Amino acid sequence: MGCAGEKVRKRNRSACVGDLRDRVVLHDRRLVEPVFGSSALSEKFTASQVAWAAVSTTTGKTLFDGVSTDRVITHEVLLRFDPCVTSETWLVIDSGHRLDVVKVEDLDERHEWLRLLCVDVGLADLAATRA
């Protein structure tokens, strides 16, 4: 048992800058109004910045998004804190795969590191599917 006034210490979750070995491109996603006579919205991705990150694959994690559909988490990304990164942000990793950010976690709420849980949605260049 602890003494009165003694703080309970918790593990500080952080990373070393040397762990950030992968370059990722952060994209902002905007919805574009449909052309007159069409009801289909389209998405436009604008590259906002390039950042160093630690990208790792995961297995067995499933999250429910805002519309109660389950999303199988395929990647976990650790990067320096950026207040502009939200669940609307998309990432493109070095292999060319686009990752949809499902959850953003500010580790220990210290505004130092972000942990992103992401879903791989395929290659960013979809030229092969258009042929």
Tokens of 89: 């942000």
Q: Hey, how many other C-beta atoms are within 10 angstroms of the C-beta on 131? A: 5
Report d(CA 60, CA 43) in Å as an integer.
Answer: 29
Report d(CA 102, CA 78) in Å as an integer.
Answer: 14
pLDDT tens per residue across span 47-75: 778 999 999 998 767 766 555 567 788 99
Q: Is the pTM of this model over 0.85?
A: no
Residue ranges and CATH numbers for the domains of the chain are 17-30+38-125 (2.40.10.270)
Q: Is the pLDDT of residue 35 over 60?
A: yes
Q: Hey, how many other C-beta atoms are within 10 angstroms of the C-beta on 89? A: 19
